[in-house]
Amino acid sequence: MEYAKTIAGLFAMLLLGPALATDSDPLQDFCVADLDGKAVSVNGHPCKPMSEAGDDFLFSSKLAKAGNTSTPNGSAVTELDVVEWPGTNTLGVSMNRVDFAPGGTNPPHIHPRATEIGIVMKGELLVGVLGSLDSGNKLYSRMVRAGETFLIPRGLMHFQFNVGKTDASMVVSFNSQNPGIVFVPLTLFGSNPPIPTPVLTKALRVEAGVVELLKSKFSAGF
The Cβ of residue 53 has, within 10 Å, a number of other Cβ atoms equal to 17
Tell me whether residue 45 is annotated as binding. Answer: no
In the chain, beta strands by DSSP E: 75-80, 94-100, 105-110, 116-122, 124-130, 139-145, 149-152, 158-162, 168-174, 182-183
Helices (H), 32-127: none
Tell me whether residue 212 is annotated as binding. Answer: no
Tell me whether residue 109 is annotated as binding. Answer: yes
Distance between CA 116 and CA 121 in Å, rounded?
16
Tell me whether residue 106 is annotated as binding. Answer: yes
Q: Which residues of 31-44 are buried (b: 16+ CB within 10 A; e: fewer)?
A: bbbbeeeeeeeeeb
Helices (H) and strands (E) in the chain, counts: 4, 10
Q: Could you tell me which residues are annotated as the binding site? A: 96, 106, 109, 111, 116, 158
Q: Could you tell me which residues are annotated as the binding site for Mn(2+)? A: 109, 111, 116, 158
Q: Could you tell me which residues are annotated as the binding site for oxalate? A: 96, 106, 111, 116
